[in-house]
Structure 1
Amino acid sequence: MKEVELLIDFHKNAKRQGPGSPSDTLKAFNFMDISKKKSLKVADIGCGTGAQTITLAQNIEGEITAVDLFPEFLAKLNLKTKEQGLEDKITTVKKPMENLSFDKEEFDIIWSEGAVYIMGFEAGIKNWKYFLKTGGYIALSEITWTTNSRPSEIDQYWNNEYPEIDTASKKIKILEENDFSPIGYFILSEDSWIENYYKPMEERFDDFLSKHNNSEIAKNMIDNQKEEIRKYKEYKDYLSYGFYIAKKVSNE
């Protein structure tokens, strides 16, 4: 089994594929000057198994188009959608985020929690704003430095993993340079990382290794996850996920 297939298998039964919480999702939404009674069109890009998709659908009127490349994740979201009675609100689409085929200014909100890194923050904003109405909102959570300087170990690790990691001021500047007016920003709490993401992940380690017969590739993958967790716990004062909320002010 290839590494990407192992990663999908490991994460497909997880409630979340990255740090976050229902309260984070709602906090981001509440920055937007939108009536909860208005019927909205929302795109949730890189939705994974859809924890935030469900939260949004439970709290807004309208339709959410949930996009992900992996059918295994979408199958889990479809199951949760049916269990929650939200079939009239959520539609899933299997599509790479780099090649979406929505109409110009189709959506009131574009949402993406912990997934824009796949394209890169700036590329995602430049690509997706075409589908967003002028006056509409974008909400993205993205790995972010919370200090201007940090120990070399964590600096080198994350710059190697994701060269676009940067401070919030640099991310906000990118939004401003691409026809957006920032209206809100906050960082995710330690609980959003540990309680909601890493602890459930750690609980899956043994069963996953057993399922894959303790293969070398499976063990390497778990070792990498353990190392990421260790680094977060040691260096959590220097980074988090930043949640960026901005309004599209131009269609140029």
Structure 2
Amino acid sequence: MYRISELAELVGLSRSTLLYYGKLGLIEAQRQSNGYRLYSEKDLQRVRLLQQLQAGGLTLKECQACLDAKIERPLLENRLKQLDEELVQKQRSRDLLAAMLGESGLEEWHESMDKIAPDAHLDWLIKQGFDEKQALRLKWLSKDMNEHEQYMADFGAIFEGLERLGPGTAEDTLEALAQVPSSPKLVLEIGCGKGIATSVLAKTIKETQADVQIAAVDNDQPCLDILNQQALELGLESNIKTVCASMMDLPFEAKSFDLIWSEGSAYIMGVQKALKQWFPLLTDDGVLVVNDLVWNTEQPSESIKAFWQKEYPDMTTVSERIKQAKAEGYQVLGNFAMSDAGWLTYYQPLQKQVEALKATMPNSKALADCDNEIKQFFNNSKSESAPSKGSERRDFDYHFFVLKKVQ
């Protein structure tokens, strides 16, 4: 016979737990005249059996049922299924924690966060020590905070010396500008980069509006330094003012601009969000020109669809973007697909650069990603040297939208 303290020590449980077991009828103490509770060998073994059943994942109530009657097989099968599900979830939890510690990749996790909570994900990245520029690059380029530093170093090496960071030509910019109904005086260019479009806009608008002022915004100061130097060389320094700021937190008053221009950058914050947030900055009847990667078909090829759903899950059709613009209070003045030259001016030099670097950067993820994107473009074109007009031959294209503020 065992006193409760002795039984507790033998089974590794507290006195209060054993008293609770007694209250449930799992064990039965024999009261002595002096008030002590004594437990038999049967009680000891019953508690040990109970512990083993609990180790199998059964609840205390289920354990009691198993002790007092024949085990019900469906009960065990159901509990086994629940445990399997819990193990899967715990493995996911472990994988995530290991990835955050750098033991494996975080790309899939970052991608899923961008889909279900993009703003919270961006805020979280900034709290981890990334500035906004780094966080946005992580979100759209490296997609793994553990590999970000090396990825961006490789990315910089790939684009070093290249004129363009994205598709487009001066002719595409001019075609969009020609659809703006009046010559603007106050212009905001968002995501100006090195200022290729900025210079085209400044020179062209200046011909009809000599005192045009362009606020060129980007969050990369080195790019803005290049633009400032270019403006000086072209005699446009009085027409172009660079501003290092976030496109999601622009330091301007409402109704400050006749024209807002954004080539190849609105996707960073989300085109639909850009349409909404930039709307108040336009004067009444002001115009927004924005371009975006869009589907030309409802049924793209499987490989291309898989690639862009991963790289740009917000990608949609021209008709859907127009619908979104109208819902935000814009009138569509015009829209058109970027020229073939716009694609080739970007991808042909990039392709040569990537091929030249393969020998010296054989394990670079950034190089592999660029190579894959290049292949997706040329696979989507009839001819590598001269793909035909985008909307006729490609599953996807860059599309310009010229939108007037009407509400």
TM over 0.5: yes
Q: How many angstroms apart in 1 are the aligned matches of 2:328 and 2:270?
A: 14
Instruction: Indicate whether 1:202 and 2:347 are aligned.
Output: no
* Residue matched to 2:230: 80
Contact preservation (8 Å) 2:248, 2:269: yes
Q: In structure 1, which of residues 56, 59, 63 is the aligned counterpart of residue 204 of structure 2? A: 59
Q: How many angstroms apart in 1 are the aligned matches of 2:272 and 2:247?
A: 13
Q: Which has the higher relative contact order, 1 or 2, with Cα contacts under 8 A spaced 6 or more apart?
A: 1
Instruction: Indicate whether 1:238 and 2:395 are aligned.
Output: yes
Q: Following superposition of structure 1 onto structure 2, how do residues 214-233 of structure 1 map, counting pairs within 5 Å?
A: 214=361, 216=363, 219-233=364-378
Contact preservation (8 Å) 1:40, 1:63: yes
Structure 2 CA distance for partners of 1:247 and 1:9, relative to 1, 3 Å: farther
Structure 2 CA distance for partners of 1:56 and 1:220, relative to 1, 3 Å: same
Q: How many angstroms apart in 2 are the aligned matches of 1:85 and 1:60?
A: 14
Highest CA radius of gyration, 1 or 2?
2
Q: In structure 2, which of residues 254, 260, 284 is the aligned counterpart of residue 104 of structure 1? A: 254
Q: Which runs of 5+ in 2 are unaligned?
A: 1-148, 207-211, 382-393
Identical-residue share of aligned pairs (%): 31
* Residue matched to 1:46: 191
* Residue matched to 1:90: 240
* Residue matched to 1:151: 301
- Structure with more of its chain in helix, by fraction: 2
How many residues align structurally? 242
What are the Cα deviations for residues 213-235 of structure 1, in whole angstroms up to 9, with x where unaligned?
6374xx22122111101111112
* Residue matched to 1:68: 218
| Letter paired with 1:231 | Q
Q: How many angstroms apart in 1 are the aligned matches of 2:155 and 2:399?
A: 24
Q: How many angstroms apart in 2 are the aligned matches of 1:13 and 1:145?
A: 31
TM-score, normalised by the number of residues in structure 1: 0.90
* Residue matched to 1:15: 163
* Residue matched to 2:404: 247
What are the Cα deviations for residues 96-125 of structure 1, in whole angstroms up to 9, with x where unaligned?
111111010100111000110100110111
Contact preservation (8 Å) 1:45, 1:110: yes
SS at structure 1 position matched to 2:294:
strand
Q: Following superposition of structure 1 onto structure 2, how do residues 126-141 of structure 1 map, counting pairs within 5 Å?
A: 126-141=276-291
Q: How many angstroms apart in 1 are the aligned matches of 2:261 and 2:161?
A: 22
Contact preservation (8 Å) 1:143, 1:242: yes
What are the Cα deviations for residues 134-169 of structure 1, in whole angstroms up to 9, with x where unaligned?
201000110011112111111111111111111100
